[in-house]
Structure 1
Protein backbone atom coordinates (compact mmCIF):
# COMPACT_ATOMS: atom_id res chain seq x y z
CA UNK A 1 0.00 0.00 0.00
CA UNK A 2 2.80 2.40 0.83
CA UNK A 3 4.49 1.65 -2.47
CA UNK A 4 1.23 2.38 -4.26
CA UNK A 5 0.80 5.61 -2.34
CA UNK A 6 4.31 6.73 -3.11
CA UNK A 7 3.85 5.86 -6.77
CA UNK A 8 0.68 7.93 -7.01
CA UNK A 9 2.35 10.82 -5.24
CA UNK A 10 5.24 10.66 -7.67
CA UNK A 11 2.90 10.63 -10.63
CA UNK A 12 0.96 13.60 -9.18
CA UNK A 13 4.18 15.51 -8.63
CA UNK A 14 5.30 14.80 -12.14
CA UNK A 15 1.95 16.00 -13.42
CA UNK A 16 2.19 19.17 -11.40
CA UNK A 17 5.66 19.73 -12.68
CA UNK A 18 4.57 19.37 -16.32
CA UNK A 19 1.74 22.08 -16.06
CA UNK A 20 2.15 25.87 -15.78
CA UNK A 21 1.12 26.95 -12.43
CA UNK A 22 -0.79 30.31 -12.50
CA UNK A 23 -0.74 32.67 -9.69
CA UNK A 24 -4.08 34.05 -8.49
CA UNK A 25 -3.12 37.50 -9.81
CA UNK A 26 -2.43 36.27 -13.33
CA UNK A 27 -5.57 34.21 -13.24
CA UNK A 28 -7.62 37.29 -12.35
CA UNK A 29 -5.93 39.29 -15.11
CA UNK A 30 -6.78 36.59 -17.62
CA UNK A 31 -10.40 36.63 -16.48
CA UNK A 32 -10.49 40.41 -16.76
CA UNK A 33 -9.04 40.28 -20.29
CA UNK A 34 -11.60 37.63 -21.22
CA UNK A 35 -14.45 39.79 -19.92
CA UNK A 36 -13.03 42.86 -21.66
CA UNK A 37 -12.75 40.98 -24.96
CA UNK A 38 -16.32 39.73 -24.57
CA UNK A 39 -17.54 43.27 -23.90
CA UNK A 40 -15.63 44.68 -26.90
CA UNK A 41 -16.95 41.87 -29.08
CA UNK A 42 -20.51 42.67 -28.06
CA UNK A 43 -19.91 46.39 -28.73
CA UNK A 44 -18.38 45.66 -32.12
CA UNK A 45 -21.30 43.41 -33.02
CA UNK A 46 -23.69 46.24 -32.05
CA UNK A 47 -21.68 48.68 -34.16
CA UNK A 48 -21.76 46.26 -37.09
CA UNK A 49 -25.55 45.95 -36.78
CA UNK A 50 -25.89 49.74 -36.59
CA UNK A 51 -23.63 50.18 -39.61
CA UNK A 52 -25.62 47.59 -41.54
CA UNK A 53 -28.85 49.42 -40.67
CA UNK A 54 -27.28 52.76 -41.67
CA UNK A 55 -26.07 51.21 -44.92
CA UNK A 56 -29.56 49.94 -45.71
CA UNK A 57 -31.02 53.37 -44.89
CA UNK A 58 -28.42 55.11 -47.02
CA UNK A 59 -29.16 52.75 -49.92
CA UNK A 60 -32.85 53.71 -49.64
CA UNK A 61 -31.97 57.41 -49.52
CA UNK A 62 -29.67 57.00 -52.49
CA UNK A 63 -32.44 55.23 -54.44
CA UNK A 64 -34.93 57.99 -53.53
CA UNK A 65 -32.42 60.66 -54.51
CA UNK A 66 -31.74 58.88 -57.77
CA UNK A 67 -35.47 58.74 -58.50
CA UNK A 68 -35.82 62.43 -57.60
CA UNK A 69 -32.86 63.26 -59.81
CA UNK A 70 -34.33 61.28 -62.70
CA UNK A 71 -37.69 63.06 -62.25
CA UNK A 72 -36.02 66.47 -62.04
CA UNK A 73 -33.88 65.69 -65.07
CA UNK A 74 -36.97 64.64 -67.04
CA UNK A 75 -38.78 67.82 -65.98
CA UNK A 76 -35.73 69.88 -66.84
CA UNK A 77 -35.57 68.36 -70.30
CA UNK A 78 -39.29 69.11 -70.79
CA UNK A 79 -38.82 72.67 -69.54
CA UNK A 80 -35.80 73.08 -71.78
CA UNK A 81 -37.82 71.84 -74.76
CA UNK A 82 -40.67 74.18 -73.80
CA UNK A 83 -38.23 77.04 -73.43
CA UNK A 84 -36.75 76.32 -76.84
CA UNK A 85 -40.23 76.16 -78.40
CA UNK A 86 -41.33 79.29 -76.54
CA UNK A 87 -38.16 81.12 -77.49
CA UNK A 88 -38.73 80.18 -81.12
CA UNK A 89 -42.35 81.38 -80.94
CA UNK A 90 -41.27 84.60 -79.23
CA UNK A 91 -38.77 85.21 -82.01
CA UNK A 92 -41.45 84.58 -84.64
CA UNK A 93 -43.94 86.83 -82.86
CA UNK A 94 -41.31 89.52 -82.40
CA UNK A 95 -40.45 89.39 -86.08
CA UNK A 96 -44.15 89.46 -87.02
CA UNK A 97 -44.75 92.37 -84.63
CA UNK A 98 -41.91 94.34 -86.18
CA UNK A 99 -43.37 93.75 -89.64
CA UNK A 100 -46.83 94.80 -88.45
CA UNK A 101 -45.44 97.91 -86.78
CA UNK A 102 -43.58 98.81 -89.97
CA UNK A 103 -46.76 98.28 -92.01
CA UNK A 104 -48.81 100.26 -89.49
CA UNK A 105 -46.35 103.14 -89.81
CA UNK A 106 -46.70 102.97 -93.60
CA UNK A 107 -50.50 103.08 -93.28
CA UNK A 108 -50.29 105.97 -90.79
CA UNK A 109 -47.95 107.83 -93.15
CA UNK A 110 -50.35 107.20 -96.04
CA UNK A 111 -53.28 108.46 -93.96
CA UNK A 112 -51.31 111.56 -93.03
CA UNK A 113 -50.65 112.15 -96.72
CA UNK A 114 -54.36 111.69 -97.41
CA UNK A 115 -55.32 114.12 -94.67
CA UNK A 116 -52.76 116.63 -95.90
CA UNK A 117 -54.09 116.25 -99.45
CA UNK A 118 -57.67 116.70 -98.19
CA UNK A 119 -56.72 119.83 -96.26
CA UNK A 120 -54.92 121.28 -99.29
CA UNK A 121 -57.92 120.47 -101.51
CA UNK A 122 -60.30 122.09 -99.03
CA UNK A 123 -58.19 125.25 -99.03
CA UNK A 124 -58.15 125.37 -102.83
CA UNK A 125 -61.91 124.89 -103.03
CA UNK A 126 -62.62 127.48 -100.35
CA UNK A 127 -60.51 129.97 -102.28
CA UNK A 128 -62.08 129.08 -105.64
CA UNK A 129 -65.66 129.12 -104.29
CA UNK A 130 -65.26 132.05 -101.94
CA UNK A 131 -67.82 134.12 -103.87
CA UNK A 132 -70.53 131.50 -103.33
CA UNK A 133 -70.15 130.88 -99.61
CA UNK A 134 -72.80 133.48 -98.77
CA UNK A 135 -75.23 131.70 -101.09
CA UNK A 136 -75.41 128.43 -99.17
CA UNK A 137 -72.09 126.79 -100.10
CA UNK A 138 -69.80 125.27 -97.47
CA UNK A 139 -66.55 123.29 -97.64
CA UNK A 140 -65.39 121.13 -94.76
CA UNK A 141 -63.54 117.90 -93.94
CA UNK A 142 -65.17 114.85 -92.37
CA UNK A 143 -63.37 111.53 -91.84
CA UNK A 144 -60.61 112.47 -94.25
CA UNK A 145 -63.04 113.47 -97.01
CA UNK A 146 -63.79 116.93 -98.34
CA UNK A 147 -67.50 117.79 -98.43
CA UNK A 148 -68.71 120.57 -100.71
CA UNK A 149 -72.31 121.23 -99.70
CA UNK A 150 -74.48 123.35 -102.00
CA UNK A 151 -77.94 124.44 -100.88
CA UNK A 152 -80.69 123.63 -103.37
CA UNK A 153 -81.46 127.34 -103.81
CA UNK A 154 -77.91 127.82 -105.13
CA UNK A 155 -78.42 125.24 -107.88
CA UNK A 156 -82.09 124.71 -108.65
CA UNK A 157 -85.36 126.60 -108.79
CA UNK A 158 -87.91 125.23 -106.34
CA UNK A 159 -88.98 121.67 -107.21
CA UNK A 160 -86.78 121.63 -110.35
CA UNK A 161 -83.96 119.39 -111.49
CA UNK A 162 -82.60 121.94 -113.98
CA UNK A 163 -79.50 123.82 -112.77
CA UNK A 164 -79.87 127.61 -112.95
CA UNK A 165 -77.11 129.98 -114.05
CA UNK A 166 -75.93 130.83 -110.55
CA UNK A 167 -75.53 127.12 -109.82
CA UNK A 168 -73.66 126.58 -113.09
CA UNK A 169 -71.21 129.36 -112.18
CA UNK A 170 -70.44 127.64 -108.89
CA UNK A 171 -70.00 124.25 -110.57
CA UNK A 172 -67.69 125.76 -113.21
CA UNK A 173 -65.37 126.98 -110.44
CA UNK A 174 -65.58 123.59 -108.71
CA UNK A 175 -64.80 121.70 -111.93
CA UNK A 176 -61.74 123.89 -112.56
CA UNK A 177 -60.25 122.66 -109.29
CA UNK A 178 -61.31 119.02 -109.80
CA UNK A 179 -59.75 118.85 -113.26
CA UNK A 180 -56.41 119.80 -111.69
CA UNK A 181 -56.74 117.02 -109.09
CA UNK A 182 -57.03 113.78 -111.09
CA UNK A 183 -56.39 111.57 -108.02
CA UNK A 184 -59.64 112.62 -106.34
CA UNK A 185 -62.76 110.43 -106.50
CA UNK A 186 -66.06 112.33 -106.65
CA UNK A 187 -69.45 111.31 -105.28
CA UNK A 188 -72.47 113.53 -105.96
CA UNK A 189 -75.25 113.03 -103.39
CA UNK A 190 -78.75 114.48 -103.61
CA UNK A 191 -80.65 115.22 -100.36
CA UNK A 192 -84.18 116.49 -99.73
CA UNK A 193 -86.28 117.58 -96.76
CA UNK A 194 -89.22 115.61 -95.39
CA UNK A 195 -91.93 117.41 -97.39
CA UNK A 196 -93.67 115.27 -99.96
CA UNK A 197 -93.28 116.09 -103.63
CA UNK A 198 -96.53 117.10 -105.33
CA UNK A 199 -97.42 117.71 -109.00
CA UNK A 200 -93.88 117.49 -110.41
CA UNK A 201 -94.67 115.30 -113.41
CA UNK A 202 -92.00 112.64 -113.82
CA UNK A 203 -90.75 113.20 -110.25
CA UNK A 204 -92.81 110.88 -108.09
CA UNK A 205 -91.23 111.38 -104.66
CA UNK A 206 -88.19 112.60 -102.76
CA UNK A 207 -86.16 109.61 -103.94
CA UNK A 208 -86.68 110.67 -107.55
CA UNK A 209 -85.95 114.30 -106.75
CA UNK A 210 -82.69 113.53 -104.89
CA UNK A 211 -81.43 111.12 -107.57
CA UNK A 212 -82.34 113.35 -110.55
CA UNK A 213 -80.71 116.42 -109.00
CA UNK A 214 -77.53 114.39 -108.35
CA UNK A 215 -77.46 113.15 -111.95
CA UNK A 216 -78.08 116.68 -113.26
CA UNK A 217 -74.98 117.93 -111.42
CA UNK A 218 -72.98 114.87 -112.56
CA UNK A 219 -73.95 115.45 -116.21
CA UNK A 220 -72.99 119.11 -116.02
CA UNK A 221 -69.57 118.32 -114.54
CA UNK A 222 -68.80 115.58 -117.09
CA UNK A 223 -70.51 116.81 -120.26
CA UNK A 224 -70.04 120.55 -119.87
CA UNK A 225 -66.87 120.82 -117.81
CA UNK A 226 -64.94 117.75 -118.95
CA UNK A 227 -64.55 116.03 -115.59
CA UNK A 228 -63.63 112.36 -116.18
CA UNK A 229 -66.88 110.38 -115.70
CA UNK A 230 -64.89 107.39 -114.39
CA UNK A 231 -64.20 109.41 -111.26
CA UNK A 232 -67.85 110.16 -110.47
CA UNK A 233 -70.80 108.40 -108.89
CA UNK A 234 -74.28 109.87 -108.44
CA UNK A 235 -76.61 108.81 -105.63
CA UNK A 236 -79.88 109.95 -104.12
CA UNK A 237 -80.31 109.91 -100.32
CA UNK A 238 -83.85 111.32 -100.29
CA UNK A 239 -84.80 112.69 -96.84
CA UNK A 240 -82.95 110.07 -94.79
CA UNK A 241 -79.64 111.78 -94.03
CA UNK A 242 -80.64 115.21 -92.71
CA UNK A 243 -78.04 117.59 -91.30
CA UNK A 244 -80.70 119.11 -89.07
CA UNK A 245 -83.49 116.92 -87.62
CA UNK A 246 -85.71 119.92 -86.93
CA UNK A 247 -88.85 120.87 -88.82
CA UNK A 248 -88.38 124.64 -88.92
CA UNK A 249 -88.08 126.35 -92.32
CA UNK A 250 -84.37 126.93 -91.63
CA UNK A 251 -83.80 123.24 -90.75
CA UNK A 252 -85.68 122.07 -93.85
CA UNK A 253 -83.62 124.44 -96.03
CA UNK A 254 -80.36 122.99 -94.66
CA UNK A 255 -81.48 119.47 -95.55
CA UNK A 256 -82.30 120.35 -99.19
CA UNK A 257 -78.82 120.19 -100.65
CA UNK A 258 -76.34 118.62 -103.03
CA UNK A 259 -73.22 117.25 -101.36
CA UNK A 260 -70.14 116.63 -103.48
CA UNK A 261 -67.88 114.27 -101.56
CA UNK A 262 -64.25 114.32 -102.61
CA UNK A 263 -62.02 111.43 -101.53
CA UNK A 264 -58.31 111.10 -102.26
CA UNK A 265 -57.69 107.72 -103.87
CA UNK A 266 -56.83 105.18 -101.20
CA UNK A 267 -55.21 102.52 -103.41
CA UNK A 268 -51.92 102.88 -101.55
CA UNK A 269 -53.64 102.38 -98.19
CA UNK A 270 -55.72 99.44 -99.43
CA UNK A 271 -52.61 97.74 -100.82
CA UNK A 272 -50.83 98.20 -97.50
CA UNK A 273 -53.77 96.74 -95.56
CA UNK A 274 -53.97 93.69 -97.85
CA UNK A 275 -50.30 92.77 -97.33
Structure 2
Protein backbone atom coordinates (compact mmCIF):
# COMPACT_ATOMS: atom_id res chain seq x y z
CA UNK A 1 0.00 0.00 0.00
CA UNK A 2 1.29 3.39 -0.82
CA UNK A 3 2.31 5.76 1.90
CA UNK A 4 -0.27 8.33 0.66
CA UNK A 5 -3.11 5.89 1.10
CA UNK A 6 -1.95 4.93 4.58
CA UNK A 7 -1.80 8.56 5.60
CA UNK A 8 -5.32 9.24 4.27
CA UNK A 9 -6.76 6.28 6.15
CA UNK A 10 -5.09 7.43 9.39
CA UNK A 11 -6.47 10.92 8.95
CA UNK A 12 -10.00 9.56 8.37
CA UNK A 13 -9.79 7.37 11.48
CA UNK A 14 -8.64 10.32 13.59
CA UNK A 15 -11.49 12.52 12.39
CA UNK A 16 -14.02 9.76 13.10
CA UNK A 17 -12.68 9.28 16.62
CA UNK A 18 -12.76 13.03 17.30
CA UNK A 19 -16.33 13.28 16.00
CA UNK A 20 -17.48 10.39 18.23
CA UNK A 21 -15.95 12.03 21.30
CA UNK A 22 -17.66 15.31 20.52
CA UNK A 23 -21.04 13.60 20.09
CA UNK A 24 -20.63 11.76 23.40
CA UNK A 25 -19.77 15.01 25.19
CA UNK A 26 -22.86 16.69 23.70
CA UNK A 27 -25.01 13.78 24.86
CA UNK A 28 -23.68 14.02 28.42
CA UNK A 29 -24.35 17.77 28.45
CA UNK A 30 -27.89 17.22 27.19
CA UNK A 31 -28.56 14.61 29.86
CA UNK A 32 -27.24 16.93 32.57
CA UNK A 33 -29.38 19.83 31.31
CA UNK A 34 -32.44 17.56 31.13
CA UNK A 35 -31.90 16.47 34.74
CA UNK A 36 -31.65 20.10 35.91
CA UNK A 37 -34.80 21.03 34.00
CA UNK A 38 -36.68 18.08 35.48
CA UNK A 39 -35.63 19.14 39.01
CA UNK A 40 -36.71 22.74 38.37
CA UNK A 41 -40.06 21.54 37.03
CA UNK A 42 -40.71 19.40 40.14
CA UNK A 43 -39.83 22.31 42.46
CA UNK A 44 -42.15 24.64 40.55
CA UNK A 45 -44.91 22.04 40.69
CA UNK A 46 -44.59 21.72 44.49
CA UNK A 47 -44.56 25.52 44.94
CA UNK A 48 -47.70 25.79 42.80
CA UNK A 49 -49.47 23.16 44.93
CA UNK A 50 -48.60 25.04 48.13
CA UNK A 51 -49.85 28.31 46.63
CA UNK A 52 -53.11 26.69 45.59
CA UNK A 53 -53.62 25.43 49.14
CA UNK A 54 -53.10 28.92 50.56
CA UNK A 55 -55.49 30.40 47.97
CA UNK A 56 -58.13 27.81 48.93
CA UNK A 57 -57.78 28.76 52.60
CA UNK A 58 -58.16 32.46 51.78
CA UNK A 59 -61.24 31.75 49.69
CA UNK A 60 -62.77 29.81 52.57
CA UNK A 61 -62.20 32.74 54.93
CA UNK A 62 -63.62 35.18 52.38
CA UNK A 63 -66.79 33.10 52.02
CA UNK A 64 -67.18 32.93 55.80
CA UNK A 65 -66.81 36.72 56.04
CA UNK A 66 -69.44 37.18 53.32
CA UNK A 67 -71.88 34.97 55.22
CA UNK A 68 -71.26 36.93 58.41
CA UNK A 69 -71.81 40.24 56.58
CA UNK A 70 -75.04 38.88 55.08
CA UNK A 71 -76.30 37.93 58.53
CA UNK A 72 -75.35 41.31 59.93
CA UNK A 73 -77.27 43.06 57.16
CA UNK A 74 -80.30 40.91 57.90
CA UNK A 75 -80.05 41.74 61.61
CA UNK A 76 -79.78 45.43 60.82
CA UNK A 77 -82.75 45.24 58.45
CA UNK A 78 -84.80 43.53 61.16
CA UNK A 79 -83.88 46.25 63.64
CA UNK A 80 -84.70 48.93 61.10
CA UNK A 81 -88.07 47.28 60.39
CA UNK A 82 -88.77 47.18 64.10
CA UNK A 83 -88.01 50.89 64.36
CA UNK A 84 -90.22 51.72 61.37
CA UNK A 85 -93.09 49.72 62.81
CA UNK A 86 -92.65 51.37 66.18
CA UNK A 87 -92.67 54.83 64.62
CA UNK A 88 -95.88 54.00 62.71
CA UNK A 89 -97.66 52.81 65.84
CA UNK A 90 -96.16 55.37 68.20
CA UNK A 91 -99.40 57.29 68.67
CA UNK A 92 -101.50 54.24 69.40
CA UNK A 93 -99.10 52.41 71.69
CA UNK A 94 -97.47 55.39 73.35
CA UNK A 95 -93.99 53.97 72.71
CA UNK A 96 -90.99 55.76 74.04
CA UNK A 97 -89.13 56.43 70.79
CA UNK A 98 -86.05 57.67 72.53
CA UNK A 99 -85.71 54.43 74.49
CA UNK A 100 -86.21 52.35 71.34
CA UNK A 101 -83.53 54.30 69.50
CA UNK A 102 -81.16 53.75 72.40
CA UNK A 103 -81.86 50.00 72.22
CA UNK A 104 -81.17 49.96 68.49
CA UNK A 105 -77.95 51.89 68.95
CA UNK A 106 -76.91 49.48 71.67
CA UNK A 107 -77.68 46.53 69.40
CA UNK A 108 -75.72 48.09 66.54
CA UNK A 109 -72.79 48.70 68.84
CA UNK A 110 -72.92 45.06 69.93
CA UNK A 111 -72.99 43.88 66.31
CA UNK A 112 -70.03 46.09 65.44
CA UNK A 113 -68.15 44.66 68.40
CA UNK A 114 -68.89 41.12 67.20
CA UNK A 115 -67.61 42.03 63.74
CA UNK A 116 -64.41 43.46 65.20
CA UNK A 117 -63.82 40.33 67.27
CA UNK A 118 -64.52 38.08 64.27
CA UNK A 119 -62.17 40.11 62.05
CA UNK A 120 -59.44 39.99 64.67
CA UNK A 121 -59.88 36.24 65.02
CA UNK A 122 -59.73 35.75 61.24
CA UNK A 123 -56.57 37.84 61.01
CA UNK A 124 -54.88 35.91 63.80
CA UNK A 125 -55.85 32.62 62.19
CA UNK A 126 -54.34 33.72 58.88
CA UNK A 127 -51.10 34.85 60.53
CA UNK A 128 -50.93 31.61 62.53
CA UNK A 129 -51.47 29.52 59.40
CA UNK A 130 -48.94 31.45 57.33
CA UNK A 131 -46.30 31.28 60.09
CA UNK A 132 -46.71 27.53 60.42
CA UNK A 133 -46.76 26.92 56.64
CA UNK A 134 -43.58 28.96 56.14
CA UNK A 135 -41.80 27.07 58.94
CA UNK A 136 -42.43 23.66 57.36
CA UNK A 137 -39.95 22.17 54.93
CA UNK A 138 -41.10 21.00 51.50
CA UNK A 139 -40.91 17.40 52.68
CA UNK A 140 -42.99 18.17 55.78
CA UNK A 141 -45.56 20.06 53.70
CA UNK A 142 -46.35 16.84 51.84
CA UNK A 143 -47.48 15.17 55.08
CA UNK A 144 -48.89 18.14 57.01
CA UNK A 145 -52.13 19.74 55.82
CA UNK A 146 -53.02 23.16 57.28
CA UNK A 147 -56.49 24.64 56.70
CA UNK A 148 -58.76 27.29 58.18
CA UNK A 149 -62.42 26.28 58.20
CA UNK A 150 -65.14 28.45 59.77
CA UNK A 151 -62.70 30.32 61.98
CA UNK A 152 -60.86 27.19 63.20
CA UNK A 153 -57.31 26.12 62.26
CA UNK A 154 -56.96 22.42 61.38
CA UNK A 155 -53.49 20.83 61.22
CA UNK A 156 -53.75 17.28 59.89
CA UNK A 157 -50.77 14.91 60.22
CA UNK A 158 -50.44 11.48 58.60
CA UNK A 159 -50.03 8.58 61.04
CA UNK A 160 -46.94 7.20 59.27
CA UNK A 161 -45.02 10.41 60.00
CA UNK A 162 -46.14 10.60 63.65
CA UNK A 163 -46.09 7.09 65.06
CA UNK A 164 -43.91 4.03 65.05
CA UNK A 165 -45.23 1.32 62.75
CA UNK A 166 -48.23 -0.46 64.30
CA UNK A 167 -48.08 1.64 67.49
CA UNK A 168 -49.34 4.75 69.23
CA UNK A 169 -45.82 5.78 70.30
CA UNK A 170 -44.43 8.86 68.57
CA UNK A 171 -41.35 8.27 66.41
CA UNK A 172 -38.19 10.39 66.23
CA UNK A 173 -39.05 11.58 62.74
CA UNK A 174 -42.00 13.59 64.06
CA UNK A 175 -39.97 15.55 66.63
CA UNK A 176 -38.95 18.45 64.38
CA UNK A 177 -42.46 18.90 62.97
CA UNK A 178 -44.09 18.78 66.42
CA UNK A 179 -41.58 21.31 67.73
CA UNK A 180 -42.63 23.79 65.01
CA UNK A 181 -46.32 23.25 65.78
CA UNK A 182 -45.63 23.60 69.52
CA UNK A 183 -43.92 26.96 68.93
CA UNK A 184 -46.99 28.24 67.09
CA UNK A 185 -49.27 27.01 69.90
CA UNK A 186 -47.04 28.65 72.50
CA UNK A 187 -46.96 31.97 70.62
CA UNK A 188 -50.77 32.15 70.40
CA UNK A 189 -51.73 31.82 74.07
CA UNK A 190 -55.41 32.80 73.63
CA UNK A 191 -56.22 29.61 71.73
CA UNK A 192 -57.40 26.20 72.93
CA UNK A 193 -55.88 23.08 71.33
CA UNK A 194 -57.74 19.83 70.68
CA UNK A 195 -55.73 16.80 69.55
CA UNK A 196 -58.05 14.41 67.71
CA UNK A 197 -57.07 10.87 66.67
CA UNK A 198 -58.68 9.16 63.66
CA UNK A 199 -58.27 5.66 62.21
CA UNK A 200 -59.37 3.66 59.19
CA UNK A 201 -62.01 0.93 59.51
CA UNK A 202 -59.61 -2.02 59.78
CA UNK A 203 -60.20 -3.81 63.14
CA UNK A 204 -57.34 -3.67 65.60
CA UNK A 205 -57.06 -7.45 65.80
CA UNK A 206 -56.13 -7.44 62.10
CA UNK A 207 -53.30 -4.99 62.63
CA UNK A 208 -49.87 -5.27 64.22
CA UNK A 209 -49.26 -7.61 67.13
CA UNK A 210 -48.12 -4.68 69.27
CA UNK A 211 -51.76 -3.51 69.36
CA UNK A 212 -53.10 -6.77 70.80
CA UNK A 213 -53.95 -5.16 74.17
CA UNK A 214 -55.99 -2.40 72.50
CA UNK A 215 -59.65 -3.36 72.26
CA UNK A 216 -60.68 -1.40 69.17
CA UNK A 217 -60.10 1.69 67.02
CA UNK A 218 -61.61 3.91 69.71
CA UNK A 219 -58.77 2.93 72.04
CA UNK A 220 -56.16 3.37 69.32
CA UNK A 221 -57.34 6.84 68.26
CA UNK A 222 -57.53 8.06 71.87
CA UNK A 223 -54.08 6.71 72.76
CA UNK A 224 -52.52 8.31 69.70
CA UNK A 225 -54.08 11.68 70.55
CA UNK A 226 -52.89 11.29 74.15
CA UNK A 227 -49.33 10.58 72.94
CA UNK A 228 -49.28 13.86 70.98
CA UNK A 229 -50.72 15.82 73.92
CA UNK A 230 -48.07 14.45 76.29
CA UNK A 231 -45.30 15.17 73.80
CA UNK A 232 -46.47 18.79 73.44
CA UNK A 233 -46.57 19.13 77.23
CA UNK A 234 -43.48 17.20 78.31
CA UNK A 235 -41.07 17.82 75.42
CA UNK A 236 -42.09 21.26 74.19
CA UNK A 237 -43.55 22.96 77.27
CA UNK A 238 -47.09 23.64 76.06
CA UNK A 239 -49.42 24.50 78.96
CA UNK A 240 -51.48 21.32 79.58
CA UNK A 241 -54.47 23.44 80.62
CA UNK A 242 -54.84 24.44 76.98
CA UNK A 243 -54.71 20.87 75.67
CA UNK A 244 -57.45 18.30 75.16
CA UNK A 245 -56.99 14.77 73.82
CA UNK A 246 -59.81 12.98 72.02
CA UNK A 247 -60.36 10.07 69.66
CA UNK A 248 -63.00 9.55 66.98
CA UNK A 249 -61.98 6.06 65.95
CA UNK A 250 -63.04 5.18 62.42
CA UNK A 251 -66.19 7.32 62.50
CA UNK A 252 -64.90 10.60 61.07
CA UNK A 253 -63.38 9.59 57.70
CA UNK A 254 -62.40 12.16 55.11
CA UNK A 255 -62.83 9.65 52.29
CA UNK A 256 -63.98 6.08 51.68
CA UNK A 257 -61.98 3.19 53.15
CA UNK A 258 -62.40 1.13 49.98
CA UNK A 259 -58.80 1.67 48.82
CA UNK A 260 -55.40 1.69 50.52
CA UNK A 261 -54.97 5.36 49.65
CA UNK A 262 -58.33 6.15 51.26
CA UNK A 263 -57.42 4.23 54.41
CA UNK A 264 -54.09 6.06 54.60
CA UNK A 265 -55.84 9.44 54.39
CA UNK A 266 -58.26 8.45 57.15
CA UNK A 267 -55.44 7.38 59.49
CA UNK A 268 -54.56 10.84 60.69
CA UNK A 269 -54.20 13.01 63.78
CA UNK A 270 -55.67 16.50 63.75
CA UNK A 271 -54.45 19.40 65.86
CA UNK A 272 -57.41 21.77 66.06
CA UNK A 273 -56.66 25.32 67.25
CA UNK A 274 -59.66 27.43 68.31
CA UNK A 275 -60.24 30.70 70.18
CA UNK A 276 -61.13 30.16 73.84
CA UNK A 277 -64.86 29.56 74.14
CA UNK A 278 -65.19 31.52 77.37
CA UNK A 279 -64.34 34.72 75.47
CA UNK A 280 -67.28 34.19 73.12
CA UNK A 281 -69.56 33.25 76.02
CA UNK A 282 -68.65 36.56 77.66
CA UNK A 283 -69.70 38.35 74.46
CA UNK A 284 -73.02 36.49 74.42
CA UNK A 285 -73.65 37.45 78.05
CA UNK A 286 -73.08 41.09 77.13
CA UNK A 287 -75.66 41.03 74.34
CA UNK A 288 -78.38 43.69 74.77
CA UNK A 289 -81.73 42.42 75.94
CA UNK A 290 -84.71 42.88 73.61
CA UNK A 291 -87.88 44.35 75.09
Specify the TM-score bucket, using the shorter chain as the normaliser: 0.5 to 0.7
Retained in 1: the 8 A contact 2:191–2:275? yes
Aligned to 2:263: 252
**Alpha-carbon spacing, 1:83–1:168, altered in 2? closer, same or farther (3 Å):** closer
Retained in 1: the 8 A contact 2:233–2:239? yes
Give the count of matched residue pairs. Answer: 194
Query: 1:100-115, aligned counterparts within 5 Å?
Result: 100-115=107-122
Deviations 1:137-171 (A, max 9, x none): 11110110111100001101332011111112211
Give the whole-Å Cα distance in 2 for the aligned partners of 1:141 and 1:165.
Answer: 28
Aligned to 1:263: 274
Aligned to 2:136: 129
Retained in 2: the 8 A contact 1:111–1:269? no
Deviation at 1:205, TM superposition (A): 0.6
Query: 1:89-168, aligned counterparts within 5 Å?
Result: 89-168=96-175
**Alpha-carbon spacing, 1:83–1:175, altered in 2? closer, same or farther (3 Å):** closer
Deviation at 1:270, TM superposition (A): 2.6
RMSD: 1.8
Aligned to 1:206: 217
**TM-score, with normalisation over the residues of structure 2?**
0.62
Aligned to 1:28: none
Query: 1:68-107, aligned counterparts within 5 Å?
Result: 83-84=90-91, 86-107=93-114
Describe the SS at the equivalent of 2:95: helix
Give the whole-Å Cα distance in 1 for the aligned partners of 2:90 and 2:118.
Answer: 40
Describe the SS at the equivalent of 2:212: coil
Is residue 222 from structure 1 mapped to residue 229 from structure 2 by the alignment? no
**Alpha-carbon spacing, 1:207–1:193, altered in 2? closer, same or farther (3 Å):** same
Alignment counterpart, residue 192 of structure 1, candidates 196, 199, 210: 199
Give the whole-Å Cα distance in 2 for the aligned partners of 1:237 and 1:210.
Answer: 6
Decide which structure has the larger Cα Rg and report it: 1
**Alpha-carbon spacing, 1:193–1:139, altered in 2? closer, same or farther (3 Å):** same
Give the whole-Å Cα distance in 2 for the aligned partners of 1:224 and 1:238.
Answer: 26
**Alpha-carbon spacing, 1:87–1:226, altered in 2? closer, same or farther (3 Å):** same
Q: Give unmatched runs, 5+ long, in structure 1.
A: 1-81
Q: Give unmatched runs, 5+ long, in structure 2.
A: 1-88, 287-291
Alignment counterpart, residue 273 of structure 1, candidates 280, 284, 289: 284
Deviation at 1:248, TM superposition (A): 1.2
Deviations 1:31-76 (A, max 9, x none): xxxxxxxxxxxxxxxxxxxxxxxxxxxxxxxxxxxxxxxxxxxxxx
